[in-house]
Structure 1
Amino acid sequence: MNDKHSLILFGVTIPLAALAIALMTQTGTGTLPAYTPALVLSAVTPLTFGSWTILFGALLFLVKTLININQGRIRLTDLGAIILLGLLIDFWSFLFRGLSNASIGGQVFCLILACFLLAIVTILQGELQIFVLPSDALNDAIAHRTMLHLPNRFQILDIICLVSGIILSFIFFQEFYGIGMATFVPPLLVPYLVYVIQQGLYKLEDSEFF
């Protein structure tokens, strides 16, 4: 893949990831496990969800750098992706702020759409061999270092962040704030959507049109 092609894919992947996260949070269905602490803290501080995503992402980048420091797997493009992801989350959240009044049907539709977008992001990350989601980048680093792979997409970092998010939500709200369908459905649904999309692409490549 040439540099121009990679740059185009990179420029498409980050907005899609940010849009998926914004759709979930703005409809009130929660957010991905790794982003629950950022969402909770954004509700009790002046900083936005996107800003907390950048701060947590930078912390994850630092941890990933320490894990990979002797393996030559440090990429500054990951840090740039973190900053752009946070900014775009706030941008999409502003555009879709009206979704906060969405019906149950609207919430489910946006959640499925977000899962589809995350599936595309996952495929593009594989093509780019660059992680635009800091949680995926650190999960990958942990997996390479420990050789521990958990089923589906519930990874070590997701579990740690989810527990942290639950603790923070009870400290500040005495309820499961920021934790809902979007916390548990995407880790289960996205891998299957990835498989379906990839199989469809393989069939298109093998068809007479390609």
Structure 2
Amino acid sequence: MGIQDTPEEWRTVATATPFTGNKTSVRTDEVVMPDGTTVTRDYQVHPGSVAVLALDDTGRVIVLRQYRHPVRHRLWEIPAGLLDIPGENPLRAAQRELYEEAHVKAEDWRVLTDVYTTPGGCDEAVRIFLAREISAADGERYEVSEEEADMELARIPLDELVRAVLAGDLHNNCLAVGVLALHAALTGDGVEALREADAPWPARPFKP
């Protein structure tokens, strides 16, 4: 099987939710360690997310630039969004996000990679899709507001994004993981070896 992460759950003897927000919450668990001691672990409870690395037929990636208040930066990112509905099909959520944020659609979808963004302090799981055969979406553009109203869109060559990530010029998690994963796929077994778009996702089970 090779190297792989494995599910495991240490005993929790008490739990509380000191904060509940609009989309996420904070949980405090009392967890029993292997030596029998009990420790407190605080972490953010997150519904999960999807992200889309959309690659056009000239090798450019659709990226957007958006203000992110927690880090006080305007970051280049790939289209992404929350899994707002429990058990939501991640592919359909990704297709919706690509339409809403970039107003394009894609004919070819594959799973690029699955990640936990910050497993030491948050249970957020993200599925990053590769979308190809890009074309303009039908109908009116999705109406945006707040930070998204100030969003910029661009198409940047994949190689340029890879260099910028390695140079420390780009910092968004999904963008960095996505472009490096695609670069690895293209220089390795190829995108045809990637998982199908409806591949199982144990971190966020869904109905096909």
TM normalised by structure 1 equals 0.25
- Which structure features the higher share of strand residues? 2
* Structure number having the greater helix percentage: 1
Computing the radius of gyration over CA atoms, which structure comes out larger, 1 or 2?
2
Give TM-score scaled by structure 2 length.
Answer: 0.25
